[in-house]
Chains A and B, each alone.
Chain A
Amino acid sequence: MIVETTHGSLTFCSIEPGSGLDSTLERPPANALGRIEASGLRGRGGAGFPTSLKWDLAIKSPGENKYVICNADEGEPGTFKDRVILSDFADLVFEGMTIGAFVIGAKRGIVYLRGEYAYLRSHLETVLRRRRAQNLLGKKIRGRDGFDFDIEIRMGAGAYVCGEETALIESLEGQRGEPRNRPPFPIDTGYLGNPTIVNNVETFAWVVCILAKGAKWFNSIGTKKSTGLKLFSVSGDCSQPGVYEFPMGITVAELLKEVGGEGAKAVQVGGAAGQCVPAAQFERTIAYEDVPTGGSVIVFGPDRDMLRVAENFLEFFADESCGQCTPCREGTPKLIEGVKMLQQGRCSMHYIHELCSLGETMQLASKCGLGQMAPNAFLSIVEHFQDEILGRIGK
């Protein structure tokens, strides 16, 4: 369907569907949880919350109808690795969800698939049907009494903010996708008020690999705080865009070399919500403790106008804000106005400082990650590209 370049061979290719689940079911659920904990796996959706901790909290939260939700809303500009996983490795995602269900004691799972990926739906339904036929889903999975679990697919309807886990749940419940206050967290009060784990597509796939290949294999890769491998979606000004698997802790410079992006002037790591890393800092590492990412890497060549880039990011957030809270709803348009003034050389140094402090207020006072992260790219571009920006400042 879509022409895709996947570079190098992915670990996911080497995992036999069914293998992770069968070995998990032989032992009590706590065993699988222990192995995931030992692996150090952290959520691959961006925030990097430890997966075993989230699952453990859901185990402890009382409730008969627990849910496993796969966040397939992949909406961050520059991210497409979840689409590749869903197209090529859907079995691993469903298997990871099934393991999650076994661990927390859930009977039902939901994949929240972004509306733009509607064309993947029939493929996913086919895989689900086959897994039911193989008794990898359904009643008494693999002959295990009392282990019933099935997965349904629900479509998003074109709202980036629905990738935020509480907004996603609101949307599944048939409401506007407006983020809720947290706490309470979904592990306590999730879908229809039930304990719910929400994890990224890639997180579920790694769970299967960890159970098949061992926690040691996984945590021997990467850094101490960011273990294992990660998929990256690489786009922008480089000769080899596409999906890559790299160890966590890779430096920006190493990554650029692999993708043919040497000579870049900056790299946006983590999508619109992430950070803009300038050439002078290419030795920084991509890891939760340094430059975190959900996997989006956009390379900017030497000729790119960074103010236009900042404007593009901000327009995205202005479009996608749910409008529930003031800092996000009112702040982003103010920043756009500021960028336009900067472009025209009509912005004073004093006003730049005002804009930056507005940005910091948004980071602190917005209700959800969207508003908290909206000013990030603007702030990092102002910080790192002073020359480019100051050159246009009004006297």
Chain B
Amino acid sequence: MPFSTYLAKCPDCHEATEEELLVQLDDVLADYASVPGALIPVLQITQAIFGYLPETALKKIALSLGKPYSEVAGVVGFYSFFTTVPRGKHLVRVCLGTACYVRGGKEVLAASKDLLRIEVGETSSDRMFSLDVGRCFGACGLAPVIMIDDDVHQRVRPAQLPKIFDQYRDNSATDDNGNGESD
């Protein structure tokens, strides 16, 4: 099954119990058992299913791909997209790459921390947002840039942030192209 098929199932995932999700993981593992280099795609799908990488899931993955748990944990630790703690509903990433940095990325980060009342790496108390930094999202022409989930927002000014965050706060039903033009 292609990656996207698993993801398509996922809107409901967050409501399901951990046992149900682990059953879904079994399906994934059955498909990938003999694929070379399966570990990273499997981790990506697992994170899409659970929202993070719980230890129970990692143990299951290690067992079924025949790898030591330490190796799986080592891979998880290496890549910045993987997280072993639950995150908020939306992931806000502020770019601190050089092009954004010179155009005010740091101010955007400071304003985001203030507004969400969290530090980098933390999740807001209503579990709506987690905050992280990035090192270039490939949109530097119109810096500074933030990403919220898969949406890119360019030329962001600190004053616009409340409005941008609010779009995600209401039911999080942003339309598919509800991104970008924050001006």
Contacts and interface: CB of A to CB of B under 8 A. Distances in A.
Contact of A176 (B75, B99, B137): B75
Interface in B1-23: 2-4
B80 A268 contact: no
Interface stretch (B31-39, B107-115, B122-130, B165-173): B31-39
A258 interface: no
B117 interface: no
Interface stretch (A1-9, A95-103, A279-287): A1-9
Contacts of B4: 121-122, 125
Contacts of B40: 154-155, 157, 171, 174
Contacts of A173: 36-37
Interface residues of B, number: 44
Contacts, number: 143
A186 interface: no
Nearest to A76: B136
A3 B154 CA distance: 8
Nearest to A241: B141
Given A78-B98, A80-B140, A80-B141, A2 B41 contact: no
Nearest to B183: A3
A319 B80 CA distance: 10
A176 B102 contact: no
Interface string A326-347: 0000000000000000000000
A315 B106 CA distance: 13
Given A158-B81, A159-B79, A77 B140 contact: yes
Contact of A313 (B78, B80, B98, B142): B98
9 contacts: A80-B141, A125-B4, A154-B41, A176-B75, A233-B140, A235-B99, A236-B103, A309-B98, A322-B78
Interface of A: 1-5, 74-80, 82-83, 114-119, 121-122, 125, 154-160, 171-178, 192, 233-237, 241-243, 268, 271-272, 298, 300, 304, 308-309, 312-313, 315-316, 319-320, 322
